[in-house]
């Protein structure tokens, strides 16, 4: 299967326009219906629902705290994209690494990092993962194998390949899950990393979160090839386009890509077609897109609503139970926000620790 897909993409360059897009049901560019044949158990769906909702509520709260002046500087919200990281995390194994760019709060929560520590980092407090010195874009967790949190667009991608090199060198069977956005996919160092990854057969999955806008520049206005799953084609890396608004579709695509990498097949490119509801950052009113476009995703293609529909249709939980779950999550987020406001600022002396050994 993996070999076949590789062959397909290897020939893609020669047969331009003939579809590298994997022609399985999950590879459609249209949103998959919740009635699709992608199966998940009630228990799984409830977990994904909970994990996505935690990210959504956390981000909403972060937005509020920003508006109230408790968070300063930069704050890039993940609202709308929750299915991507939750679906990938669902098939991650112990020891697999996660590394991403600056829109990273969702990845940290999905990795199991403590919402209190993440929120307190946003408010720049001592209780934050980086003791307040890193901020929104710069957090790490050794315990959760989370390698950041990187503020320079695309700079984390060669590191992701390096993590994969260490996996291969140590023969530990782990895979590096390297996330970046559609904007980052134009950075030169991504191509360097892809070439090295395929050349050295590194276990890395390049996960392009295509939310369709690099800040205010649409993919159409910045990419000569708008099918980003083809980014690896010239290196011989297979790619797949995925409905990134369907957590189960994401999970199944990630499963295939991760298996490919873990079993010696080398890297894989997943293009997650997704959408962010908020602006690029807190200062972005997002005037480069229409209200109708945003509402279309919110109303008809929301990853949490789609998961909810699956749950209700499958009879796995009723609306009252989901409401109860939402209340529990809001309590967790409130606890994180309280902690983030109560934790003291780091001392000035702290600024000089961890510069060098």
Instruction: Choose one: 4-12, 66-74, 123-131, 242-250; the region binding other proteins (CB under 8 A).
Output: 123-131
At closest approach, how far in Å is the CB of 165 from other proteins?
Answer: 5
At closest approach, how far in Å is the CB of 344 from other proteins?
Answer: 16
Q: How many residues bind other proteins (CB under 8 A)?
A: 46
Asked whether 353 and 126 are in contact (CB, 8 A), the reply is no
Distances (CA, A) of 54 to 29, 50, 108: 27, 6, 11
CA distance 176 to 98: 6
SS3 (DSSP) at 311: helix
Q: Does 152 bind other proteins (CB under 8 A)?
A: yes
Q: Does 185 bind other proteins (CB under 8 A)?
A: no
The residue among 97 and 301 lying less far from other proteins, judged by its C-beta, is 97
- 80, 101, 124, 149: which one binds other proteins (CB under 8 A): 149
- 157, 250, 311, 329: which one binds other proteins (CB under 8 A): 157
- 115, 148, 183, 232: which one binds other proteins (CB under 8 A): 148
**Gyration radius (Cα) of the chain, Å:** 20
Q: Does 343 bind other proteins (CB under 8 A)?
A: no
The pair of structure tokens assigned to 135 is: 């901020």
Asked whether 271 and 253 are in contact (CB, 8 A), the reply is no
128 φ/ψ sector (left φ>0, alpha ψ -120 to 50, else beta): beta
Q: Does 123 bind other proteins (CB under 8 A)?
A: no
CA distance 351 to 3: 50
At closest approach, how far in Å is the CB of 1 from other proteins?
Answer: 28
Q: How many CB atoms lie within 10 A of CB 112?
A: 13
Pairing, β 268-273 against β 204-210: parallel
Asked whether 120 and 199 are in contact (CB, 8 A), the reply is no
Site for other proteins in 193-222 (CB under 8 A): 193, 195-196, 199
Q: Which residues, including other chains, have CB under 8 Å from residue 80's CB and lie 6 or more apart?
A: 211, 274, 275, 276, 277, 278, 297, 298, 302, 303
Q: Does 179 bind other proteins (CB under 8 A)?
A: no
Q: Does 97 bind other proteins (CB under 8 A)?
A: yes
Strand order in the sheet with 268-273: 97-99, 176-181, 204-210, 268-273, 239-243
The DSSP-derived string for 211-243 is -SEETTEEHHHH-SS--GGGTTGGGT--EEEEE
Q: Does 180 bind other proteins (CB under 8 A)?
A: no
Q: Does 237 bind other proteins (CB under 8 A)?
A: no
The residue among 78 and 140 lying less far from other proteins, judged by its C-beta, is 140
- 47, 50, 155, 325: which one binds other proteins (CB under 8 A): 155
The residue among 148 and 266 lying less far from other proteins, judged by its C-beta, is 148
At closest approach, how far in Å is the CB of 306 from other proteins?
Answer: 34
Instruction: Choose one: 76-84, 103-111, 155-163, 282-290; the region binding other proteins (CB under 8 A).
Output: 155-163
The residue among 154 and 279 lying less far from other proteins, judged by its C-beta, is 154
At closest approach, how far in Å is the CB of 302 from other proteins?
Answer: 33
CA distance 62 to 72: 11
- 63, 151, 216, 314: which one binds other proteins (CB under 8 A): 151
Contact residues toward other proteins (CB under 8 A) are 97, 99, 129-131, 133-134, 138-142, 147-152, 155-167, 169-170, 176, 188-189, 192-193, 195-196, 199, 353-357
């Amino acid at each position: 299967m993996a070999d076949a897909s590789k062959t397909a993409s290897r020939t893609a360059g020669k047969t331009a326009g003939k579809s590298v897009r994997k022609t399985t049901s999950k590879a459609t560019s249209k949103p998959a219906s919740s009635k699709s044949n992608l199966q998940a158990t009630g228990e799984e769906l409830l977990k994904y629902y909970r994990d996505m909702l935690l990210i959504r509520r956390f981000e909403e709260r972060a937005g509020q705290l920003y508006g109230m002046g408790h968070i300063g500087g930069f704050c890039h919200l993940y609202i709308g994209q929750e299915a991507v990281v939750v679906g990938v995390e669902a098939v991650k194994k112990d020891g697999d690494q996660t590394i991403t760019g600056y829109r990273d709060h969702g990845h940290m929560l999905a990795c199991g990092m403590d919402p209190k520590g993440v929120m307190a980092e946003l408010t720049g407090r001592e209780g934050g993962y980086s003791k307040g010195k890193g901020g929104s874009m710069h957090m790490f967790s050794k315990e959760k194998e989370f390698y950041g949190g990187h503020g320079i667009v695309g700079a984390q991608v060669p590191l992701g390949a390096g993590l994969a090199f260490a996996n291969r060198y140590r023969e530990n069977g782990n895979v590096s899950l390297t996330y970046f956005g559609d904007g980052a996919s134009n950075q030169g160092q991504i191509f360097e990393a892809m070439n090295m990854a395929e050349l050295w057969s590194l276990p890395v999955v390049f996960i392009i979160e295509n939310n369709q806008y690099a800040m205010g520049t649409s993919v159409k206005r910045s990419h000569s090839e708008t099918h980003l799953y083809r980014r690896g084609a010239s290196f011989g890396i297979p790619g797949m386009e995925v409905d990134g608004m369907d957590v189960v579709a994401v999970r199944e695509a990630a499963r295939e890509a991760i298996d490919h990498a873990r079993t010696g097949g080398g890297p894989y490119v997943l293009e997650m077609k997704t959408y962010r509801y908020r602006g690029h950052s807190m200062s972005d009113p997002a005037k480069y897109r229409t209200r109708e476009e945003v509402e279309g995703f919110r109303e008809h293609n929301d990853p949490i609503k789609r998961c909810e529909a699956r749950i209700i249709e499958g009879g796995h939980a009723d609306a009252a139970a989901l409401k109860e779950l939402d209340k529990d999550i809001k309590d967790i987020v409130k606890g994180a926000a309280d902690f983030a406001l109560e934790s003291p600022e780091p001392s000035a002396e702290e600024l000089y620790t961890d510069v060098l050994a």
